[in-house]
A and B are shown apart, each in its own frame.
Chain A
């Protein structure tokens, strides 16, 4: 409630600096940069499951810039064994793990005002927004686009096609490597996006 009122009256004093900096970015949005993002999570139930890692890579005018990437692995309180099997992320790699708060803080900096793109991206956005909520912060402000939606448009179909990333990669002749790592999936999604954009 307090949070809502603050927003209503434009009082943001209780928001941390990194959020203010993030908000500042939207004053002059950069349309040339698109961030392709993927989260690996402990499961598919927002609110119950947790983010394990976030990977993202940016496109500038439809060219993937490898150097402009983002990758974090989050410290976990509890891990569902079944997701470890898929993602291969194990809890005790202390040196490479970041707290959720730190991860989100860095992510906002990386995102800036760029459009966020991903495959079935609403789930990822929901997971990140939940993390933001835990930090008593508002939702992401970025524009969001889904490769699945773009694909439907590309096919001239008005309903979502619900194709998996694997299926899209096969269709576009993109070799599937590093599936189920956040950064690897982001890279594959970025490549799918490149092909969809030129056709639309």
Chain B
């Protein structure tokens, strides 16, 4: 084509459509549009729809069917928030050049967040259909979107927010809301293949083969009653116990775990992790008593996100080398660090950390048992302190204990020595992974904390019956134990014993309460900093002892005095307390918020300094971070006065 014709052609476009020209001029300033050639950009711009959204109006709401277009903010600012995560806080603010609503490009879904105009907005809407065609020929654009879509720990841009504590992570225009996709809903396969329980295994194999699927839901009157996966078929048929003529009801897993259609990706991940399953059945209301809507497989999620908690968990199951375990622990750290650098809410970060840490520890113990030899008695490995509460984000000291079943006296010594040996092995691996040995030796490798069930019961009885200010300080973390590995029954029996002992034991609670208020909140924070006078941490604020610990301790004493079993986590404890004492909702809700904010401060600081994050350098905090920190102290004060009243602590202090 001659250049003359080219020039003419270009001029016609310019003459004929100044609108397209304006739109293109705007788009080409921002990624990923800046990577498009002029022709593609004009093609795209010519299909744009211009929306005007007045202040406080919604672009879409939670649960709305996904639009056929996504949006680029041309003028104004759009706030995104999710009622389920937080009713008040904006999760993200998109302003000029930011992209939002990209999710439907990857999966037909409903929106899991609401988008509201914080100021009056002009939005350029780009139909997905138009955009998809461009994507095929523009790998860089595709890469950009995929990168933004996947919650990628290796996003180089995520590290830019390092050094800012809790500062709002608004999009810079360079990265669209990648972290948000975590809250977007999980996409499931609609109209899954179903069979009745009376069909044969052969029929199931035929259907699965024909449709190239790995699972079938077993239904009765459209309600799910079980699930059969190719794994089930392989296992059962290969065993030769059953033949392919047998009914599916003999091999199906039942009941099948169900979820409602509008479920967040993050929740799906947790469920799969928790139940160690690969499939979830989607039903109308999330129970087995409504019609089947779809099926959600682990594969769906893993493919959506390459580097993610589920993948890490899978790896944990498979590895046996110390080096691999160390690598996984490092991946967890970088995953968590990346999460912290985004606007991902703290409860989710902590949950991921909890589940993966737990799986990792289970694996370490499993491998150590293999190495040490068959255990001579049943036992349970208990995580205590922050491990027991599931609140670890950073690598901390290891705190654990071991309980084994009661055995005859003559065997007791040899059995204890087996478990001490096992504990030493586990403990040394933990140490290699970065969990340093507990300086106070609160570890299962210490004969004091590697005991039979009866010995443990006696120990707890002694702590409870003969409390002293000193013993409480030492023993209180044992009240936050959680079984990490082994026999559930042992830890259950120990709990039963403890709660029986605690019942109406005013004196013990008085001591526990006293311990919980020993660190008053630093309310004079700004006039005179309460900072550590010990030489090494001069001019630093001990966020753990002065702010997090008081909340942890308050939650513990309150939940124990309410005789609630099985609630170990500080946030869960306060949530339960709100349920039990609605009159104190405001105080407890404040405590949850403070706890999360403080945990984030600590975690961010910890990753930044490669430390336990315990000491915050006040001079390096921004004004807004100082304000945030200060606001967390009020609920601490409130809950401490509540403790003082409830446990009549006045005379203790």
Contacts and interface: CB of A to CB of B under 8 A. Distances in A.
Interface string B551-592: 000000000000000000000000000000000000000000
Contacts of A57: 19
Contacts of A67: 46-47
A64 B47 CA distance: 10
A69 B18 CA distance: 11
Interface stretch (B50-58, B83-91, B164-172, B539-547): B50-58
A63 B19 contact: no
B517 interface: no
Contact of A63 (B16, B45, B120, B125): B125
A181 B54 contact: no
Given A69-B17, A95-B12, A96-B16, A187 B51 contact: no
Interface in A175-199: 177-178, 181, 183-184, 187, 190-191, 194-195, 198-199
- 6 closest cross-chain pairs (CB), A and B: A64-B50, A194-B52, A178-B18, A184-B18, A187-B19, A66-B48
B19 A66 contact: yes
Interface residues of B, number: 25
A71 interface: yes
B441 to A, nearest CB: 68
A95 B8 contact: yes
Contacts of B484: none
Interface string A66-94: 11010101000000000000000000010
Contacts of B17: 69, 71, 183
A9 interface: no
Contacts of A173: 75, 120
A66 B54 contact: no
B46 A96 contact: no
A4 interface: no
Contact of B15 (A62, A64, A96, A191): A96
A47 B18 CA distance: 29
A93 B15 CA distance: 11
Contacts of A181: 18
B49 A66 contact: yes
B216 to A, nearest CB: 44
Nearest to B47: A67
Contacts of A66: 19-20, 23, 45-50
Nearest to A184: B18
B22 interface: yes
A187 B8 CA distance: 24
Contacts of B48: 66
A30 B8 CA distance: 37
29 contacts: A63-B49, A63-B50, A63-B51, A64-B49, A64-B50, A64-B51, A66-B20, A66-B23, A66-B48, A66-B49, A66-B50, A71-B17, A96-B12, A177-B18, A178-B18, A178-B21, A183-B17, A183-B19, A184-B18, A184-B19, A187-B18, A187-B19, A191-B50, A191-B52, A194-B50, A195-B120, A198-B52, A198-B54, A198-B57
Interface string B1-29: 00000001000100111111111000000
Interface string B397-428: 00000000000000000000000000000000
B33 to A, nearest CB: 15
A194 B22 CA distance: 18
A183 B18 contact: yes
Interface size class of A (residues with CB under 8 A): 20 to 34
Contacts of A71: 16-17
A57 B18 CA distance: 11
A65 to B, nearest CB: 5
Interface majority SS (helix, strand, loop, mixed), chain B: mixed
Among A66, A181, A190, find the residue whose CB has the most chain B CB atoms closer than 10 A: A66
Interface in A15-67: 57, 62-67
Contacts of A73: 15
A178 B21 CA distance: 10
A57 B120 CA distance: 22
A66 B125 CA distance: 10
A186 B411 CA distance: 94
B48 to A, nearest CB: 5
A122 B51 CA distance: 27
Interface in A143-200: 173, 177-178, 181, 183-184, 187, 190-191, 194-195, 198-199
A73 B11 CA distance: 13
Q: Which of A62, A63, A67 has the most CB of B within 10 A?
A: A67
Interface string B139-179: 00000000000000000000000000000000000000000
Contacts of B16: 71, 96, 183
Nearest to B57: A198
Contact of A178 (B8, B12, B22, B57): B22
A181 B19 CA distance: 10
A187 B122 CA distance: 13
Contacts of B46: 66-67
A162 to B, nearest CB: 24
Contacts of A194: 50, 52
A93 B23 CA distance: 25
Nearest to A73: B15
A96 to B, nearest CB: 6
Interface in B98-136: 120, 122, 125
Contacts of B50: 63-64, 66, 190-191, 194
Contacts of B22: 177-178, 187
A171 B12 CA distance: 32
Contacts of B15: 73, 93, 96
A184 B20 CA distance: 10
Nearest to B53: A198
A57 B12 CA distance: 18
A179 B50 CA distance: 18
B47 to A, nearest CB: 5
Contacts of A63: 49-51, 125
A65 B18 contact: no
A178 B120 CA distance: 23
Most chain A CB inside 10 Å of its own CB: which residue of B23, B46, B52: B52
A96 B75 CA distance: 33
A87 to B, nearest CB: 12
A199 B45 CA distance: 28
Contacts of A177: 18, 22
A96 B21 CA distance: 18
Interface in B463-500: none
A71 B14 CA distance: 11
Nearest to A199: B54
Contact of B49 (A65, A195, A198): A65
A181 B15 CA distance: 9
A66 B19 CA distance: 7
A170 to B, nearest CB: 15
Contacts of A184: 18-19
A184 B21 CA distance: 10
A40 to B, nearest CB: 12
Given A64-B50, A69-B19, A194-B50, 9 more contacts: A63-B49, A73-B15, A93-B15, A95-B8, A177-B22, A178-B22, A181-B18, A183-B19, A190-B50
